[in-house]
Chain A
């Protein structure tokens, strides 16, 4: 299971997010990735290493190439985590809704 610290750290870089968006379209080689980003292949390779270490992408060997693709399990993991964060936040605010309903806005005193 991917470590969420390294996953979110990997996602904190805009170039790496753009690489992931490109990989969402399908498996891609370093050379193909380097072109739209106007970056050198070594620079792209460094970003791919971070993404791979974070479990966000999977690479395979094909001759001298190492094409990369998205790791769907890691993407699902992030979705689930954000969903839990959202639910925790929602629970506090649902509780606040009930507190607000008990407060009389016209009166300045203690609502209890």
Chain B
């Protein structure tokens, strides 16, 4: 299963691989070191990792070194909120991040092991996020509730919009 988008924005791919992986790729018109900063500095993360309009990230703790913690909390204008927690495993600044995260709804979801790489590509960066879930059922659940790659705010919002 693979989907791609294009038009004015650089193409984004969201692909399942094997039974337990989800892979997301996106090109950015900025060097790897800058894209890396936007993924690890709280004051930058809080500007973009938000999902649709109406959501903010009032709490953003990001300690990008081995053993460092992460905690992102989102809230919307209707009083809904949720958060993810995680731990950094390996960090190669400007190039690669390996971390583990889970979402709290409020019960924690199974751990998602995530490797994010930032590679020089043309005039910018190719970012590749490779998620590994414990089993195919967990991955199916993650896709069906819309959680993928730290984009939970968008998806939870979408879920609330859909008449499931």
Chain A contacts to B: CB under 8 angstroms? 1, 3-5, 7-9, 11-14, 81-101, 103, 105, 110-112
Contacts and interface: CB of A to CB of B under 8 A. Distances in A.
A14 B19 contact: yes
A84 B158 contact: yes
Contacts of B38: 96, 99-100, 103
B9 A94 contact: yes
Contact of A8 (B31, B34, B47, B143): B143
B52 interface: yes
Contacts, number: 118
B146 interface: yes
Contacts of A97: 9-10, 28-29
Contacts of A3: 164
Contacts of B9: 90, 93-94, 97
Interface of B: 1, 3, 5, 9-10, 12, 14, 19, 24, 26, 28-31, 33-35, 37-38, 43-44, 47-52, 136-137, 139-141, 143-146, 148-149, 151, 154-155, 157-158, 162-164
A99 B48 CA distance: 7
**Chain B at the A interface: SS class:** mixed
Contacts of B48: 92-93, 95-96, 98-99
**Chain A at the B interface: SS class:** helix
B116 to A, nearest CB: 13
24 contacts: A7-B144, A8-B140, A9-B140, A9-B144, A12-B19, A81-B162, A84-B158, A84-B162, A85-B143, A88-B146, A88-B158, A89-B24, A89-B148, A89-B154, A90-B5, A92-B49, A93-B9, A93-B10, A99-B47, A100-B30, A103-B37, A103-B38, A105-B31, A111-B44
